[in-house]
Amino acid sequence: MTRPITIGSLCSGVGGLELGVMAALSGCQLSWCSDIDSQAVKVLSARFADVPNLGDIRALDWTRLCRVEVLTTGFPCQDISAAGCRAGVENGDRSGLWDVLGVVRVVRPRLLVVENVAALRWRGGGLGRVLGDLAATGYDSSWRSVCADDVGAPHRRERVFLLAWPRSEGPAELAADADRARRHIKRPERVEQNRWALPTGSDPRSGGCAGLPAERMIGKESARCGTADFRWGVHGAALARWERALGRRAPRPLLAGRRGQPVLAPEFVEFLMGLPVGWVTGLAISRTAQLRLLGNGVVPAQAAHAVALLLREATSISSAAEVHAGASSRKGAGWDVRAAARSGHGLIGRGVA
């Protein structure tokens, strides 16, 4: 029996990135996660009940903790996001990047998976600094911008995904184990065949409204929540496509608020994210907190698709990096990040030996 690939998660949120990585790599096992947000902790405790949450990564002695082969992180984006202060990685104080790099230097995973907002690759966002620091740590990298609608979701949600690995090893052996990832790569355009559907367990409500009380739904036929009794207008085709991809119907997008006014339903956002039914909304968490957690989360199918694509690129990055070695050797970072950013993806040069 093949030993499972061990995964450690930093800044875990609700675990969407981890679900995606586990979908892309066969035979994975989440060894530990880490988050200090009280509401995110509730989700992690419920959905990964047997997985310890290490808490604040700044307060841990990583030399004494269990090593893992794959490290995932979606470090905080307030300093980077277009919705935030746009201070960037270098000038901001809320990115958490330096804490993550400190863990990487000690744990030395065979593969690092990073997810962040698209603004990371914008001017001043800090992608160049991230890549340069990884190179200085001895890691080669490959990155790509991937949108949620690339896997059939009815919204764009562009994100930057980055894979990094020790220069001395390379990712070939780990990529060779990723049978499911290679199958995803072969037909990335076939989103209609439920390739990206994630298991919802034995919950009999997987085709419904995740246990939401029917009286809170807006509409005459309040007990029904599928697209059949709600007018989606121009969005109908996109939502129907996502319904087929996930294998379940969309819940209604609106609820009756405390004063009777329509408010956004977290169940609908959970559906848009492609998370299993009730992953967040099935827990005793306030509506506003659920929306915040979901808005900060990762679409698992999008992450799986990105990791699959990057693994393919990573297996040949050594030869590609040699082409740019002359230009990058003086700084130890990669090739022209600005030019690569305009194309939406890039192969980044060799880490320092």
Concatenate the DSSP letters of all residues of 63-91 into one string: GGSPP-SEEEE----TTTSTTTT--HHHH
Q: Please, are residues 341 and 123 in contact by the beta-carbon 8 Å criterion?
A: no
Q: Please report whether residue 207 resides in a domain.
A: no
Strand partners, 163: 113, 142
CATH of the domain at 67: 3.40.50.150
| pLDDT single digits (tens) 90-117 | 554 544 566 888 999 999 999 999 999 9
d(CA 270, CA 247): 14
125, two tokens: 């966002």
133 phi, psi to nearest 5 deg? -70, -35
Choose the catalytic residue: 11, 28, 77, 209: 77
| pLDDT > 90 fraction of the chain, expressed in percent and rounded | 52
Q: Please report whether residue 202 resides in a domain.
A: no
Nearest partner of 219 among 231, 235, 204, 237, judged by Cα: 231
| pLDDT > 70 fraction of the chain, expressed in percent and rounded | 66
- In this predicted structure, what is the pLDDT of residue 168? 78
Q: Please report whether residue 199 resides in a domain.
A: no
| pLDDT single digits (tens) 70-87 | 999 987 744 444 444 444
DSSP-derived letter for residue 33 is: B
| pLDDT single digits (tens) 156-168 | 999 999 999 998 7
Residue that is last in its domain, among 259, 279, 295? 295
| pLDDT single digits (tens) 303-317 | 999 999 999 888 766
- In this predicted structure, what is the pLDDT of residue 315? 75
Q: Are 218 and 330 part of one and the same domain? A: no
d(CA 90, CA 151): 32
Active site residue 77: yes
- In this predicted structure, what is the pLDDT of residue 192? 39
Q: Are 43 and 184 part of one and the same domain? A: yes
Task: Report the relative pairing of strands 159-166 and 139-146 from DSSP bridges.
Answer: antiparallel
- Using a 10 angstrom Cβ sphere, with 0-12 exposed, 13-18 middle and 19 or more buried, the burial of residue 295 is exposed
335, two tokens: 């090739």
Q: Please, are residues 232 and 247 in contact by the beta-carbon 8 Å criterion?
A: no
Domain range for 35: 5-193+300-348
Q: Please report whether residue 200 resides in a domain.
A: no
| pLDDT single digits (tens) 205-228 | 223 333 333 334 343 333 344 444
d(CA 21, CA 155): 21
Total tally of structural domains belonging to the chain: 2
Q: Are 188 and 320 part of one and the same domain? A: yes
Q: Are 306 and 328 part of one and the same domain? A: yes
Other beta carbons within 10 angstroms of residue 311's beta carbon come to 26
- In this predicted structure, what is the pLDDT of residue 225? 41
Q: Are 236 and 340 part of one and the same domain? A: no
Residue 198 has pLDDT above 90, yes or no: no
Q: Are 148 and 271 part of one and the same domain? A: no
- In this predicted structure, what is the pLDDT of residue 321? 52
Q: Where are the beta strands (DSSP E) in 39-180?
A: 70-73, 111-117, 139-146, 159-166
d(CA 215, CA 223): 7
Q: Are 290 and 321 part of one and the same domain? A: no
Amino acid occupying residue 314: A
Q: Please report whether residue 80 resides in a domain.
A: yes
Q: Please, are residues 168 and 138 in contact by the beta-carbon 8 Å criterion?
A: yes
294, two tokens: 């979901």
